Amino acid sequence: MKRFLIGTAGHIDHGKTALVKALTGIDADRLPEEKRRGITIDLGFAHAEWEGVRVSFVDVPGHERFVRNMLAGAGGIDAVLLVVAADESVMPQTREHFDIVRMLGIRRGVIAVTKIDRVDEDLRAVTISDVRDLTAGSFLESAPIVPVSARTGAGLPALQKALVALAGDESASPRESLLVRLPIDRAFSIAGFGPVVTGSLVSGTISTEQKLELLASGRPVRVRRIEVHGRETPEARAGERVSVNLAGIELPDLRRGLVLATPGAFATTSLLTARVHLLPGAPELSSGDRVSLHHFSAELRAGVRLLEDETLPPGGSGLAQLRLSAAIAAAPGDRFVLRRLSPVETVGGGIVLDPLWPGARRAREESRSSLSRFEGASAAERIAVWVEQARESGVSEEDLARRAGVATERIRADAAAAIGAGKIHALRRSPERYMAESTLVRVAGRALDEMARLLSAGGAVGVSRRTLLARILPGASDARWAEAVEAALVARGAYTLAGEEARPPGRDDLGGADRELSSRIADTYRRRGLDPPSLPDVTREIGHKAKVVEGLAGYLVKKGTLLRLPGGWLIAREAVDDVVSKLRGSGRPSLDVGEFKEMFGLTRRLAIPLLEYLDGAKITRRVGDRREILPG
């Protein structure tokens, strides 16, 4: 069954509630004050099923004092039923409500000219002409206009048919499979059940026992019971009016303006980056102005910062950042309405470009340029921008999905296109984490600069991998991410690895004075054989700086010219190779420490480290107090 949510719009006393009742048999005025005064004050709800379509109505107040209530119910509707009384024609709230639904991006609707039983044909024709003038050039320009009378029933079948036709519009996008988002417009408690919230289910499917998140607080809740149109049901789908009985929360923590959502699915923000549109008759908007912002059922104060000019003229459009009085759950593409604080009136609206765009502290020109490119970008290009903004920290698939307000599967598919275009890289998988190509190029350059600086003293051919990563990825606390970045840098030839050392490309040997000095150090160890000197001894003999000698000795170890024994002893490789050759040529199956010392004329302090090295090299194997000599 198709599900379709229609919101009414129109001036007070033009018959919106009476028309909904005539169509559905349900009186949407639920408050005693509404019945006593004969006007709609808050949102009302009704429903019907026609020709396989479940139609839900959100009936809104028409009085100017209650436009804020009207806005709370208009945010999640699929289409509008614009109501204009034939005996009064277009009135102030007709225009304001029409402006509001346009600002909210509603693209479908039907116009009902009501109370035709009160006027003659000529006056009815005048009203229809006025309505056509009002809607000229808008999404309702070609919408059906249906003359009706809620009192006599005239025109009701034709109106019903026109509303059903809207539901069959192929432009309607399937929303049931998307992430759950239910803006709350009412919260109350029922004895024996506890807190209940109602709202228009904008997207997703809610089922009993489902775990959801209350935004913007992030508090977890559980669905105990669901009602759709007053009937208990195991699930509710997008496009329906829903009542949800919640567990894990108390009524004081629930209010209009909060949102029930899939856990972790949406970003919360108090800074919206958006394109703002002003109505032609609105006053000029300036940076620093404060307005009232309506986003789904939420109403907040917002400070305006225009990003292109200091002012936005009536009928104008511009990029802006809106600093909100409280955090909300928002996603790119969300619509909002702006109202002036005094005198209170609708002045415009806009569309959210990004809920987490950085604050506009940089040059305005840069903000305008980057945002303009972002605004018209494909999904893959937008992901590339977000990844670039993450810089060296990279950004996870989950964070990208939350910022976009979509499932991670969608991000993965869009990111694949950005990867294919060479704009981003997936440097860590399970979970995915991305870095921009531009960032990787910058980090590679930084790595070369840091190695050059660290090696400027001479002597060494490389630097510690850990030290280098700490310099090029400052503050990186994720070891796996640092390793993934390192692997990417090595793969593109930014530097090479030798054990625990990083080296500049092609830097595998020494030149000039360093080569001559390292040869002297190696010759010293070769000459001393099995009586190797300490580094301080070599430093004194060579007559050079201790740090340089130490660095070159380390280089000789990495090249294999010298060997480092357990305990820190350095010894020429030729001396150890000679020991191995003599052991295997001795014909002995084994020997103990004493026999080993005697055989090679060693002191005990060198014999033990040398034997431990031979054990590790699989030349000997310790068995009790003896060493077996293993075949080569």
Predicted pLDDT of residue 456: 76
- Kindly state the helix (H) or strand (E) to which residue 386 belongs, with its residue range: helix 379-390
Q: What percent of the chain has pLDDT over 70?
A: 89
* Residue keyed to tokens 């709370």: 72
- In this chain, the answer to whether the domains covering 181-261 and 267-367 adopt an identical fold is yes
Predicted pLDDT of residue 230: 79
Closest C-alpha to 206, from 226, 221, 189, 186: 226
Identify the architecture of domain 514-629 in CATH: Orthogonal Bundle (1.10)
Task: List the structure tokens of 563.
Answer: 């060997």
Predicted pLDDT of residue 143: 93
The per-residue pLDDT for range 506-546, each reduced to its tens digit, is 665 555 677 788 889 999 999 999 999 999 999 998 888 88
pLDDT at 457 over 80: no
The per-residue pLDDT for range 485-511, each reduced to its tens digit, is 988 898 888 887 765 778 787 665 555
For the chain, state the CA radius of gyration.
38
For residue 532, cis peptide bond before it (omega within 30 degrees of 0): no
- Entry pTM: 0.76
CATH class of segment(s) 267-367: mainly beta
Can you give the residue ranges of every domain in the chain? 2-167, 181-261, 267-367, 377-508, 514-629
Q: How far apart are the first and last CA of the chain?
A: 80
Rounded Cα distance, 420 and 374, in Å: 19
What is the CATH code for 181-261? 2.40.30.10
Rounded Cα distance, 547 and 567, in Å: 20
Band the pLDDT of 429: cuts 50, 70, 90: confident
Rounded Cα distance, 34 and 27, in Å: 11
Give the residues across from 311 on adjacent strands.
286
Torsion region of 378: left, alpha or beta (phi above 0 gives left; psi -120 to 50 gives alpha): beta
* Residue keyed to tokens 């991006």: 105
CATH topology of domain 2-167: Rossmann fold (3.40.50)
Rounded Cα distance, 597 and 524, in Å: 23
Predicted pLDDT of residue 41: 43
